[in-house]
Each structure stands twice: as C-alpha cells, then as structure tokens.
Structure 1
Amino acid sequence: MIDIIRGMTQLFFEYGAMGSGKTIEILKVAHNYESQGKKVLLMTPAIDDRAGIGVISSRIGLKREAIAIHKTDNLFTEVSRVDGELAAVLIDEAQFLEPFQVDQLADVVDKLNIPVMTFGLRQDAFNHLFPGSKRLFEIADKLEEMKTICTFCGKKAITQLRVVDGKPQYQGSQVFIGGDETYIPVCRKHWKNPDLKKLKEFFPANKKVSKQ
C-alpha cells in the first residue's frame, strides 16, 4: 500500500494483475485523505464502462463516481481547473491512459506540486505492456506492486488470462474490457499451460460479454 503520509510530491504507479485489489486501494486512499478533511480528485478512463462511464467500482461492490478521462483530454488542464486546494489526484485503470497524458500528470506533480497516484495493470492478457503503463514505468517516481495469487496453483500471479467461451485467448485486441467473467489472475506457467478442465469449471457459461 502506498503510504500517503509523506512530505514529498511524486508520481506513483501501483500495479498488479487483475484481482489484486487495486480499485479497493484507490478507494481506501481517497477515504483516508477525505477523513482528514482533504480534497482529492478521482479520475478513470471512460473506456472502462463496466459500472458506467466515470465510475470506479471494485469487485466487492464498493464504488464511487469519478471524472471520466477521454483519449484526447489534457489532464494537466483538467486538474488546473479544479476549485480549491487538492491534496492528491487519484487515477484508476491507468493502463488505459495515453502516454502523453502520463506526461501531463508528471507536469501536475512538477508544476502544480500535487501528488498523483495511479493504479492499474502492468501488461495485457498477452504479456505486453499497455502504452500508459509503459510510460509510467519510464517516468514515475515510485513503483509499487500489488500481489495476488494464481488461480490454479496459488503462486504469485504476474498477469491475467483472458477466457472467452471457456477457451484461453492468446491473440486479439489489446483492450478487451471485462471482469471476472473474462479474466483470471495467473502465474507465467499457467498462463502458458492453463488447466483446461478447471477453466470449464470456472467459466461454465462464459459468454462474449466483454467488448473491444
């Protein structure tokens, strides 16, 4: 967990496989700030509309409204327009940010002296970095991994397996929005060689409910 009690302003990226609790963490960080009477700005990319556009929603049912980020938005401008003093900018699903938007968040830190904490996936279901995550790895001041376990063996999960119609997917669109009905956290071994029998048990009626 990112320690929010600090005397420095930085760009943070907290990342992990699906199911590692990233969304719960961002909601907890927001609550911690607000319980101290401090103002935060919550943002999330509009492309992830599973709970509605501009909604941060966790798997356990906690949710909050947030500012929806579109691909052409200037995040430095958006933050600059906020009335009142901001204690932090908190961004969920940061892997979907454009690289230039990550640079704008760095400007928020460097020019406006506001901490920016981003939360998201490191890589896609084919083990390639998302452009937004790649840029965060390149320029973030602090990186922190949130851990979860492989669905099959209980070892550390490093990625997520995409499953459609009960079958693992190893090609397709990088962005394929979905939740527990489409993705499971896995280690490298079981990403390459998942237990197909167990997959059918996990996804007895898996349908193409996700969208590209």
Structure 2
Amino acid sequence: MDVNQTTSVALSALSNAKSSTEYCLLWGDWQIREWWSCLPASDWSSWVQAIIAGIAILVAVALPMLQRFIDKNDARKNAARNAELTIRFHYQLFRDNDSFLSVALKHLPPKSGNAKPGAEREVRLSIDALRAVDFENIKVIALGNPDLADSLADYHCALETLKGVLSRNPEGELSWLAPTILDHLSKIRVISEKISSLVK
C-alpha cells in the first residue's frame, strides 16, 4: 500500500467518523450539547457497559458486607433475648438467695456468749442452700447484660469462698468463726443487692 492509498484510507475513516450520528445526554429542552456529552452510539454502548460493570462490582462488594451487618445485628438480638430468658429463669433463685441470706445473718451466733439453740444449724443450712448461677449461664447473660454477669461472677466466687470456710470446719462451733462468716455474708449481701437492682 503506497502513501496515496494510506492517505485515502485515513481520510475515508475520518469522514466516516465525522458523519456518524452522535447522541447527546437527555433530550428536548433538557438536552446537553457539549463536547463531552455527545457521542456516537458505539461509544455510548461502551460507556453503558462500563457503568453497568462498575455497578455490578459495587453490588458484589456491598452485598456480603450488608449480609455480615444483618448477621451481626441478628446475633446481638439473639444474645440479648437469650440473656433475658436466662435472667428470668434464675429470678426465683435470686429471691430465694436473699431469703437464705437474711436467715443466716439473723441466726449468726455472737463472737462471745452462747448461741441460741439451733442457731448454728440454721446458719449452716441457710448458707448451704445458697446457690450461684453457673459460669455457662453467666456467659450467656454477659452477652446481653455484662454488668449483671460481672456481679453474678463475683457472687459465685464469694459464695464458694464462704462455703470453703465452713467445709474446713464442719463440726466446730461457729461462734469463733462468726466475724469471718459475717464478713463473707456482708460481701455477699452487697453483691446480692447489686444483682437485685440490675434485674429489676
């Protein structure tokens, strides 16, 4: 192909390009006629394909993120619901513990002097009747009410400590242990009051 033929082909292509129909953005009085807004149909087709591809990529990225957000939100709601059910299930336990604490404190023998008949037995039975929420249920409650879970864990530890003191003195008189027992019962009472305020 010589120079004349090459020139002829280039001029023909340029002429076809100029004569091709251009389409502008919008229509009627709203039509935008600028150099950037009027393109041949083939160019508009490429732009539309590019825009659709971009939207498809955005959707592909956004949908998993949206699904993760929905899943996390559902998990939080389920955790709160499970925590509430667990608290309600143990509500009677909390009330019973308050009653047993009152009995133990009422019958605790003095440090010196004779205890009332049967008082030590009442103290031991009352303390033995105290029950703590197990740690598996505390974990469930922690997902919905972490403050209550912390108090329940403190109660569990304090009660185990008190029962440990009594288990090491199964037959002895409680009068000489009265200050120690009173100290532990007082701590448990404070924690129990905090638990009661959190479950109301």
User: What band does the TM-score fall into relative to the shorter chain?
Assistant: under 0.3
Higher Rg of the two aligned structures:
2
TM-score, structure 2 length as denominator?
Answer: 0.22
Q: Which structure dedicates a bigger proportion of its chain to strand?
A: 1
Q: Which structure dedicates a bigger proportion of its chain to helix?
A: 2
Which protein has greater RCO, CA pairs closer than 8 Å, 6+ apart?
A: 1
TM-score, structure 1 length as denominator?
Answer: 0.21
